Amino acid sequence: MVGADTLFPEIASSDHIISVAVPVPLRQTFDFLVPDDSPTAVRGARVKVPFGTRKLVGVITEVKSSSEFPESKLKKALEILDEISLFDEPLWHTLQWLSRYYLAPIGEVIGTALPSLIRQGGELRPANKKSWVLTDHGRASPLDELNRAPLQLAIIKRFMQSSLLDASDFKETSSGWRQAVNALVEKRWVQEYVSEPALAARTLKVDAREIETDLTLTGQQQDAVSGLFNAIDDKVFSCSLLHGVTGSGKTEVYFAAIDHVLALGKQALLLVPEIGLTPQLIDRIEQRFSAPVVMMHSGLNDTERHLAWWHARQGNAKIIVGTRSAVFSQFSDLGIVIIDEEHDGSFKQTDNVRYQARDVAIYRAKQHNIPIVLGSATPSIETYVNASNGRFKLFRLTERASKVSLPKIELIDLNQQATNDGLSPSMLEAIKMTVQRKKQVMLFLNRRGYAPVLYCKDCKQAAKCHRCDSHLTLHRRANRLRCHHCGYEGVIKTNCGSCQSSEMVDVGEGTQRVEDALALRFPESTVLRIDRDSTRRKGELAELLEQARSGKADILLGTQLITKGHDFPNVGMVGILEADQGLYSTDFRASENLFQQIIQVSGRAGRRDDVGHVFIQTRFPEHSFFDKVLTHDFNGFAEQLINERKAANFPPFGYFALLRCESAHQAKSLQFLRKAKDDMVNYDGVRIMDAIPAPMERRAGKYRAQLLVCSSQRSSLNACLAQWLHFLATDAQAKKFASSVRWTLDIDPLDHY
């Protein structure tokens, strides 16, 4: 492997002009003259440039001898910050591709790929600033010992969430933090870290534990592993789908592949969903590997992120585990990419640069000539199709590693029995039996708050958000009305806003109401509610999940936060309180998502010893959707969806782009999109739909509209939109209109609202 510094040949002295991508939402680069005292300008290096009245840090995209602008008009760049490129060739090509494919400004794309300290022009090498890490002794000591030192306790709790802390992390803590940290250093719970930029503390293993792999892989796991070993040894690009039912031991297969890559001296990248990066996974990785690991996720502070980036780039870190943006990490020698729960929606970024990390990872693996593995119990239809048509290799794990059968799924017909606080008599009975058997119960309801609607009995009006086309949700714990769309929060009025009547009733149930009902009915049992409201503080989700796992709670109740990949060993029964929303939705992906959710949440039941039970409450037990659910027939379900999508030319058989627009003036968003439609040139095979209001038109006081552009050919869709963007940038009138509204372009959108 060549080092980054040898990748770019010395430039000719006539090349005195540089094109620079600057972090602004403009789809172009800007030319500057190389500053006099900078003998070297290389593509991929950062450069400080004057931009209007500001000074910006950009990245050189080209070094050249002439510009389309007269040289006398070009400004001189202020300073070239790097002597070498910050991007290896595969990453550079990936970013260029990303910018073209998603029609995203190259400056923003490059910005997305760099940690903020680097983006702002900081030193590549992390500063030797004084910081602290938790010692093994500190990690092993019981927290009660700190009961009389609340500040020290608070500090240790922070260390449990963040590997490496420095003064900036304590700014908001009490002023006595320095003393408290010193006391902890004295006790050897915490240790100072001054010298070399450290690998994240979690990998500072004084005594690398002996690695235990006493598992004997099942035949199916073994087949998948040998297939992946071959793919790794081939040293060419390949993409594989590991389609394994919940609990089939996919993680063990990933680990075997990582082992193999590490033995070759290479690095492994493991991408996980946003909430998949649980302490449980981290522990599992650390118990399994003695190689240095870094984590990259949204919870890192700037210093930690910079360190993680640096260690991956230097090759110090061998295993890089991260959420979607980790796909932009730099490596010294990458050997494999693994994406766990590849179907998960969090791999798609939904603001700024709207990329799908799974697709970016595939492109990148191709550039590196290495294998990539996508794993899931419920693959996305896109991936499933690629595996069926042979574009991806397919490995299947059809049985659970523990040999326990998949859970038995039953429907509860809500036409036959009424629910009370969201719970039907059959559901209550099932909960009771499970609790009696000393097994955990897990209940899934994807609606937080107490009640979704506060309704006036007299005038039949519901309390509405004044900024959105939406009801306000009643939150009893906080005693507030909240809007789940814009964050508005207000007091609970005892009188109707329209008619002043005091006959206000709360209708429907959220997790809080069900929690109360459970507490009443099962007073002996501990109920644990896990949703966004109960996990606002950093680290709280991890804490609750750990409580759930350790078996401290008898009944877990939660939103989708509890569905993903967690291995709760003692769950005997799963209840899905409401499954109907996805059945008749206008969103063509709703049933796919519902199926995935049901299978994932069901997968938490009966993972160890005896067969688990799943109960689904529904008003539509006859719906054909449930035939496939009851038999765990993901393939059958997928085939059905594929036929539907093929017939309708929906993804992945047709390609979509969604142009969204919002404005404070009701008519303007639609006007802008109608004009956009008129301005777009009709490429062959491209269909431009009509501009329509968004399903929820008003949100946070803005009126939103959307325009769907479809094509059976990606290239014509891309060309059509690129042409329009060009028109927008060059036509004065169009440009003016565009700057008076807020619009965004989403290629391969996941959400259609």
Residues that bind Zn ion (CB under 5 A): 456, 458-459, 465, 467-468, 483, 485-486, 488, 496, 498-499, 501
Per the CB < 8 A criterion, the answer to whether 481 and 489 are in contact is yes
Q: How many CB atoms lie within 10 A of CB 628?
A: 19
User: Taking CA 205 as the corner, what is the angle to CA 204 and CA 210, rounded to the nearest 5 degrees?
Assistant: 155
**Residue 252 touches which member of Zn ion, ligand ADP, none, C-beta under 5-8 Å by kind:** ligand ADP
Pairwise CA distance, residues 551 & 434, whole Å: 14
Per the CB < 8 A criterion, the answer to whether 248 and 399 are in contact is yes
Minimum distance from residue 662 beta carbon to Zn ion (Å): 14
**Residue 456 touches which member of ligand ADP, Zn ion, none, C-beta under 5-8 Å by kind:** Zn ion
Residue (196 or 458) nearer to Zn ion, CB: 458
Stretch that binds ligand ADP, among 93-101, 195-203, 240-248, 650-658 (CB under 6 A): 240-248
- Answer yes or no whether residue 94 interacts with ligand ADP by CB under 6 A: no
- Answer yes or no whether residue 251 interacts with ligand ADP by CB under 6 A: yes
Element (DSSP H or E) covering residue 58: strand 54-64
Stretch that binds ligand ADP, among 209-217, 318-326, 465-473, 484-492 (CB under 6 A): 209-217
Q: How many CB atoms lie within 10 A of CB 110?
A: 27
Minimum distance from residue 239 beta carbon to ligand ADP (Å): 19
Whole-angstrom CA distances from 389 to 4, 245, 383, 384, 386 are: 37, 21, 10, 9, 5
**Residue 396 touches which member of ligand ADP, Zn ion, none, C-beta under 5-8 Å by kind:** none
Determine the residue with CB nearest ligand ADP. Answer: 249
Residue 106 token pair: 């190259």
- Answer yes or no whether residue 247 interacts with ligand ADP by CB under 6 A: yes
One-letter amino acid at 665 equals H
Query: How many residues sit in the footprint of ligand ADP (CB under 6 A)?
Result: 16
Residue 134 token pair: 């938790």
**Residue 218 touches which member of ligand ADP, Zn ion, none, C-beta under 5-8 Å by kind:** ligand ADP
> Where in 656-715 is the site for ligand ADP (CB under 6 A)?
none
Pairwise CA distance, residues 699 & 710, whole Å: 26
**Residue 56 touches which member of Zn ion, ligand ADP, none, C-beta under 5-8 Å by kind:** none
Residue 416 token pair: 């036959």
One-letter amino acid at 260 equals H
Minimum distance from residue 342 beta carbon to ligand ADP (Å): 12
Minimum distance from residue 515 beta carbon to Zn ion (Å): 24
- Answer yes or no whether residue 585 interacts with ligand ADP by CB under 6 A: no
**Residue 247 touches which member of ligand ADP, Zn ion, none, C-beta under 5-8 Å by kind:** ligand ADP
> Where in 210-229 is the site for ligand ADP (CB under 6 A)?
215-218, 221
- Answer yes or no whether residue 249 interacts with ligand ADP by CB under 6 A: yes
**Residue 80 touches which member of Zn ion, ligand ADP, none, C-beta under 5-8 Å by kind:** none
Minimum distance from residue 443 beta carbon to ligand ADP (Å): 20
Residue 648 token pair: 């309708």
DSSP 8-state class, residue 464: B
Per the CB < 8 A criterion, the answer to whether 317 and 300 are in contact is no
- Answer yes or no whether residue 252 interacts with ligand ADP by CB under 6 A: yes
Per the CB < 8 A criterion, the answer to whether 95 and 106 are in contact is yes
Stretch that binds ligand ADP, among 100-108, 130-138, 248-256, 414-422 (CB under 6 A): 248-256
Q: How many CB atoms lie within 10 A of CB 434?
A: 23
- Answer yes or no whether residue 402 interacts with ligand ADP by CB under 6 A: yes
Residue (288 or 348) nearer to ligand ADP, CB: 288
Minimum distance from residue 493 beta carbon to Zn ion (Å): 11
Minimum distance from residue 603 beta carbon to ligand ADP (Å): 7
Minimum distance from residue 469 beta carbon to Zn ion (Å): 9
**Residue 459 touches which member of ligand ADP, Zn ion, none, C-beta under 5-8 Å by kind:** Zn ion
Residue (197 or 572) nearer to ligand ADP, CB: 572
Among 94, 203, 246, 470, binds ligand ADP (CB under 6 A): 246
Pairwise CA distance, residues 16 & 36, whole Å: 9
Q: What are phi and psi of 732, to 5 degrees?
A: -60, -45
Among 567, 580, 587, 679, binds ligand ADP (CB under 6 A): 567
Minimum distance from residue 401 beta carbon to ligand ADP (Å): 3
Residue (280 or 498) nearer to ligand ADP, CB: 280
The SS3 call for residue 294 is strand
- Answer yes or no whether residue 248 interacts with ligand ADP by CB under 6 A: yes
Residue 174 token pair: 């009490």
Longest CA–CA span in the chain (Å) reads 84
Per the CB < 8 A criterion, the answer to whether 308 and 294 are in contact is yes
Minimum distance from residue 465 beta carbon to Zn ion (Å): 3
Binding-residue pattern over the window 520 to 559 for ligand ADP, x denoting contact by CB under 6 A: ----------------------------------------
Kindly give the interhelix angle for 634-648 and 590-602, rounded to the nearest 10 degrees: 170
Query: Which residues lie across from 348 on neighbouring strands?
Result: 356
Helices assigned H by DSSP within 463-589: 511-521, 540-549
Residue (401 or 463) nearer to ligand ADP, CB: 401
Minimum distance from residue 697 beta carbon to Zn ion (Å): 12
Residue (305 or 702) nearer to Zn ion, CB: 702
Minimum distance from residue 480 beta carbon to Zn ion (Å): 13
- Answer yes or no whether residue 378 interacts with ligand ADP by CB under 6 A: no
How many Å separate Cα 728 from the centre of its chain? 31
Residue (99 or 246) nearer to ligand ADP, CB: 246
Ramachandran class of 353: left when φ > 0, alpha when ψ lies in -120 to 50, beta otherwise: beta
User: Taking CA 569 as the corner, what is the angle to CA 564 and CA 570, rounded to the nearest 5 degrees?
Assistant: 115
Minimum distance from residue 596 beta carbon to ligand ADP (Å): 14
Residue (249 or 575) nearer to ligand ADP, CB: 249
Residue (248 or 706) nearer to ligand ADP, CB: 248
Minimum distance from residue 481 beta carbon to Zn ion (Å): 10
- Answer yes or no whether residue 282 interacts with ligand ADP by CB under 6 A: no
Kindly give the interhelix angle for 250-263 and 219-234, rounded to the nearest 10 degrees: 30
Residue (281 or 544) nearer to ligand ADP, CB: 281
One-letter amino acid at 377 equals A
Per the CB < 8 A criterion, the answer to whether 286 and 247 are in contact is no
**Residue 428 touches which member of Zn ion, ligand ADP, none, C-beta under 5-8 Å by kind:** none
Ramachandran class of 326: left when φ > 0, alpha when ψ lies in -120 to 50, beta otherwise: alpha
- Answer yes or no whether residue 342 interacts with ligand ADP by CB under 6 A: no
Q: What are phi and psi of 606, to 5 degrees?
A: 55, 50
Minimum distance from residue 92 beta carbon to ligand ADP (Å): 34
Per the CB < 8 A criterion, the answer to whether 95 and 109 are in contact is yes
> Where in 635-654 is the site for ligand ADP (CB under 6 A)?
none
Pairwise CA distance, residues 151 & 165, whole Å: 15
Minimum distance from residue 254 beta carbon to ligand ADP (Å): 8
Residue 312 token pair: 């991956």
* Beta strand segments in 303-349, E: 319-322, 334-340
- For 163-227, give the DSSP string: SEEEHHHHTTS-TTHHHHHHHHHHTTSEEEE-SSPPPPGGG--SSPPPPP--PPPPHHHHHHHHH
Catalog residues that contact ligand ADP under the rule CB under 6 A.
215-218, 221, 244, 246-252, 401-402, 567
